[in-house]
Amino acid sequence: MKKCLILGGGIAGLTSAVYLSKAGFKVKLIEASPKLGGRAYSYFDKDLNLEIDNGQHILMGCYKETLKFLRTIDSIGNLTFQKDLTVNFLKENKNQFQLKSSNLPYPVGLITGLLSYKAITLLERLLLLKFFIKLPFQAIKDLENLTVLEWLERENQNEMTRKAFWNFIAIGALNTSLNKASARSLLIILKEMFLKGKNAATIILPGKGLTETYCNEAEKFIQENNGEVVLSEKVVELKVKNSKIVKVKTTTGELTDFDYVISALPFFALEKILSPAVELKKANYKYSSILSVHLKLDKNELTDKFYGLINSRIHWIFNHGDNITLVISDGDKYMELSKKEIFDLVCDELKKYAGIGKGNILNYRVIKEKRATFIPSNDIEGKRPPTETNIKNFFLTGDWIDTGLPSTIESAVKSGRMVTDKILELQGR
């Protein structure tokens, strides 16, 4: 039985461990922290009396790799699936608008949904529809070196359309501003979302926390398939000899009993332990943050599961009944604010958009994920490394390697499947 040592217990590491253990490999996964999930985890907050995520994550119907993984670990039942794409938006003074695909056959249902989205004018809707009509024929090479903002401006997507539509698609998916993200990254996402059938653009919400949905079931699967998961053990050095990893030093000892080593560490963590013998393609990764604020309410008059906020400093409200979660993507400018300052900021927005005042809030929790995702800018295009390295038994996985996708859960899961496929290929399987 071949043995795989996996360094890092985030989503990519867990995916690799699940698929390799399923394929009959003896897997050992080690994680530096006392928890699994990396940047995607949840915990029980006693003050809020609620299991909360470090950042609210949503999936989409086009996340085929993630859905396959969740089916493999028997966790798909933790998700709630939309029948048709439906997003409710709030403007100031509790004005509501809905973007909803009709039940007509694809793509007519999507077209009628765009045309009925009254948060923007009829002319703006027609220009938006024109954009989507051109989408199947849009070549990546024609967007070379363009930012998302430059592409949208070229296609006559004005400021109001960007605020009422594109900010939720682009900033939500890429977690950075329109003038930083590459147009290529957005094009890839749009084609997956809107050109792969009716269900691809629908939103999928978790019914349970990230840890229960991803981590616990993955750990259980690994252990039931003769694998091992070790927490609170940090890798400090990789020893290379004759183009192979021969020893992995950790804070608790040395590991030598393996055939393959897979790094599922973030790039900034991997850099610290790499041997000079490892030749790694290096992109100039820069990172963007996500800010989440969890509020416990005395009463909640919001009725829908989630809302997008138009022209607000808050991007999303997720409704959990007595508790709501507010999410600000691309939240770098708020990272240095105190938790009290952030609380005051979101209270101002909530009052204007949802009519929820400070007096309705019983408690709150602020979570800052400072390096939530890398920025998919033009200067890293073509520079993300593949899963293979020049070291025969050393492989990479993680949302930052060359998956063809931006920094998302889908990219992390896909990378775990990619490294599994490569190792199975080397085994002639």
Instruction: Write down the pLDDT at residue 56.
Output: 74
What pLDDT is recorded for position 282? Answer: 81
User: Average model confidence (pLDDT) for the chain?
Assistant: 95
> Counting Cβ atoms within 10 Å, is residue 35 exposed (0-12), middle (13-18) or buried (19+)?
middle
Confidence band, pLDDT 50/70/90 cuts, at residue 22:
very high
How many C-beta neighbours within 10 Å does residue 47 have? Answer: 11
127 exposed, middle or buried (CB, 10 Å; 0-12, 13-18, 19+)?
A: middle
What are 215-244's pLDDT values in tens digits? 999 999 999 999 999 999 999 999 999 999
pLDDT band at 47 (very low <50, low <70, confident <90, very high): confident
Q: In the chain, what is the straight-line distance between the N-terminal and C-terminal CA atoms, in Å? A: 14
pLDDT at 327: 96
Is there a contact between 42 and 20 (Cβ–Cβ < 8 Å)? no
Q: What is the DSSP letter of 393?
A: T
Q: What is the mean pLDDT of residues 200-228?
A: 95
What residues form DSSP beta bridges with 395?
262, 388
The radius of gyration computed from the CA coordinates of the chain, to the nearest angstrom, equals 22
What is the arithmetic mean of pLDDT over 241-254? 96
pLDDT at 360: 94
Q: What is the pLDDT of residue 193?
A: 95
Contact 148, 181 (CB under 8 A): yes
The set of residues, in sequence order, having a beta carbon less than 8 Å from that of 23 and lying 6+ positions away, is 420, 424, 429
Do 365 and 350 form a contact (C-beta atoms < 8 A)?
Answer: no
Structure tokens at 361: 């809030």
Residue 392: the pLDDT is: 94
pLDDT at 189: 95
pLDDT given for residue 389 in this prediction: 96
Token pair, residue 79, equals 């998700």
- Are 381 and 283 a contacting pair, CB within 8 Å? no
Ordered by where they begin, the domains of the chain are 3-40+209-283+384-426 (3.50.50.60), 83-201 (no CATH), 287-374 (3.90.660.10)
Nearest to 18 by CA among 31, 7, 29, 3: 29
Query: Tokens for 188?
Result: 């890839």
pLDDT in tens, 167-191: 999 998 999 999 999 999 999 999 9
Residues 287-317 have pLDDT tens digits of: 999 999 999 999 998 999 999 999 999 999 9
Q: Please say whether the beta carbons of 267 and 285 come within 8 A.
A: yes
Q: Which residues, including other chains, have CB under 8 Å from residue 342's CB and lie 6 or more apart?
A: 291, 293, 334, 366
pLDDT (tens digit, 9 = 90+) per residue, 261-295?
999 999 999 999 998 999 988 888 999 999 999 99
Per-residue pLDDT at 216: 97
CB 322 within 8 A of CB 376: no
